[in-house]
Structures are given as C-alpha cells and as structure tokens.
Amino acid sequence: MQVDLRILRYDPERDAGPHWVSYSVEAEPTDRVLDLLHRVKYEVDGALTFRRSCGHGVCGSDAMLINGRNRLACRIRVEQLGRRRISVAPLPGLPVIKDLVVDMDGFFAKYRSVQPFLITDGPPPSRERRQSPEERARYDDTTKCILCAACTSSCPSFWAQPDYVGPAAIVQAHRFIFDSRDEGADERLEILADQDGVWRCRTIFNCTDACPRGIEITRAILEVSAAIVERHG
C-alpha cells in the first residue's frame, strides 16, 4: 500500500527553519516506521538524517515523535498506526541538530548527575554479594531503561522547566536507590530533593505512556518522592 510519510526536515546549513516534507512510500502493513525512513533515505534522498542502530528496540537510538507520540521507529509497525498518513518529527523539547536528530548531551548530563552507579562501603566479598530474588525483583522494572529519552522529552514539566532532571534520570536513580546492595541512597535522594528534582513531576503519566520498555515510570518517580519524604520525616 502507499503511505503518505510526512517528515519534519531541517538542515541547519540550508534551511531557515523546520518544514514538513511529504513522501509517498510503498509499505507493507508489517513494515516498521524505521523501514520507511530507510526507504526514503536509500531511494529518494540520502540526506535524510536520523539515528538508529540495533533496529529492534534495545539500543535506544531511534526515539522520535511519530503521529504525535514518542516512540522507537524500529518498534512501531505501520498497521499499528491505523492510518496511511504518518508524521515523523524529532523528539520535542530537545534542540534539533538536523532532521530527526536531537542534541542528547544535556539528557546524558542529567543522567550522570544522579550518580548512576553502585555505591558501596568497604571491600567486596570474595564471591558474589547475596541478594534474594525478592530484593532483586524490587528494582527489576527500572533496570530495563535504554536511555532513549522518549519519557523525558514527552514530559510537559520538562518542556516548561528544561532544568528539570527528568523522568529518565529518576528512573536510573530508582534502579540504585531500591537495590539492597547500594549504600548511596542518601546522596541520590539529596540530589533529587533539589528544586529541579522529583518535585517537578506533576504525575501527568506521559512518560509512562511513552516508554518503549513498558517501565512504570510515574510509579518509580512517586516511590523516589516517598523515599525522600520518609528520610526527611
């Protein structure tokens, strides 16, 4: 079938600003949006620019705004979109470099700011640390994060306050705060209790809806908030 693929194009070396370009693309219902983007790039205009790597939803490169929702282009099939007109734009709220490529440096800086690594005191044992299956299950959900930025760039609080650390960084902090082996919760909760931390969340649930890994992000944010309240009693 023919699909009307509309892409928000922008080349900083040639264009005054972003503009929509329409492509009529032959597609199978089972094609992913990434397949359509490749068809345009390889058969129509090699200058069309987007990131992608693994092509099956685990590397987090190709998050973009597809028919008004943040998704991974390699995970969404044409038939799931339910219509023959498909619009593709860069992730909202992040500076656009070219076409569908956004500047991710600020996003990763926020990720690094929450101390996203295991913090422990003292030397480790000679074998593995023990952790019960229940303790392991406590933070399982937030270990799935692939740092694609679909959540943070879908968040109205982040659009309004670009200094907000954002859902993805809180998810990463959650993964350690609720890990029974970690001893850095105090430092992380201190960072997230900042005015640009968890309190910016207005429980709009856009992040949870956007997550391609199905992480219950809003819930994770609320659990971190509750831990801050508990600690400061």
Give contact residues for another protein (rule: CB under 8 A). Answer: 11-14, 30, 41-43, 45-47, 49-50, 52-61, 75, 77, 97-99, 101, 104-105, 108, 112, 115-118, 124, 126-133, 135-136, 139-140, 143-144, 146-147, 175-176, 179, 181-182, 214
Q: How far is the CB of 178 from another protein (least distance, A)?
A: 11
Do the Cβ atoms of 218 and 203 come closer than 8 Å?
Answer: yes
| Shortest separation between residue 3's beta carbon and another protein, angstroms | 19
Task: Decide whether 4 or 43 has the Cβ nearer to another protein.
Answer: 43
Smallest separation (angstroms) from another protein to the CB of 144: 7
**Distance of alpha carbon 44 from the chain centroid:** 29
How far is 232 from 100, CA to CA, in rounded Å? 43
Q: Which is nearer to another protein, 139 or 158 (CB)?
A: 139
Q: 117 vs 202, which CB is nearer to another protein? A: 117
HSE, side-chain direction, 13 A CA sphere, residue 232: 10
Task: Work out how close the CB of 143 gets to another protein at its nearest, in angstroms, rounded to a whole number.
Answer: 5
30 Cα distance to chain centroid: 24
Q: Which helix (H) or strand (E) holds 33?
A: helix 33-43
**Is residue 107 within 8 Å of residue 152, measured between CB atoms?**
yes
Q: Which is closer to another protein, CB of 140 or CB of 186?
A: 140
What's the closest the beta carbon of residue 156 comes to another protein, in angstroms? 25
> How far apart are the two ends of the chain, measured CA to CA in Å?
60
Our CB check for another protein shows the closer of 2 and 132 to be 132
Four-residue CA torsion sign, 200, 206, 210, 211: positive
